Amino acid sequence: MKIAIGNDHAGPDYKQAIVKHLESKGIEVINHGTDSYDSVDYPDFVHPVANDVANGTADFGIIICGSGNGVAMTANKHQKIRAALCWTKEISALARQHNDANIISIPARFTAIPQAVEMVDTFLNTAFEGGRHQNRVNKIPC
C-alpha cells in the first residue's frame, strides 16, 4: 500500500506521528507536507496528494490542516477524489463504508495525535460496502 500525505503549518507533528506509524507497518508514504510551523498555503500541499490518489500513484491520501475544512475543500475539487473530514474513528469508518472516501481530512486543532493515528488506521482498514451505497457514490461527480 502507498499513501500520499500533505499538511500545512498546523500539522507537522501529526504528519510525523502518522508517517512513523504507517512506515512501522511497512506502508510506503509519499510526503507532500511541510515540516515548518511557518504559515503556508494549504492548497500547495493538498493538490499533489489529490493528484497522486486520482492518478493511482497512491492508494489513499491523508491531508491535515487546523480545521480540516480547507484541505478537504481543495482535494474535493479533483474529479476522482472523495475527501472526508473526520474527527472520530467512527466517522472515518463510515466515510470508507458508505462514501468510498479515498482521502481522509484531519482537523489538527480539534483532534489529538493518538486519535488521528487511530482514525487513519480505521480509514485504511475499512472496506467500501458497495451495494446501496454504490449508486450514491456514482452520483457524486459533476
- Kindly list the catalytic residues: 65, 98
* C-alpha torsion sign, points 133, 134, 136, 142: positive
Task: Report the run of H or E that residue 2 belongs to, with start and end.
Answer: strand 2-7
Separation of alpha carbons 23 and 81, rounded Å: 24
Strands 28-31 and 83-85 come out as unpaired
Task: Quickly count: other Cβ atoms within 10 Å of residue 27's Cβ.
Answer: 16
Q: What is the DSSP letter of 101?
A: -
* H or E segment and range at residue 99: helix 89-99
C-alpha cell recorded at residue 102:
479515498
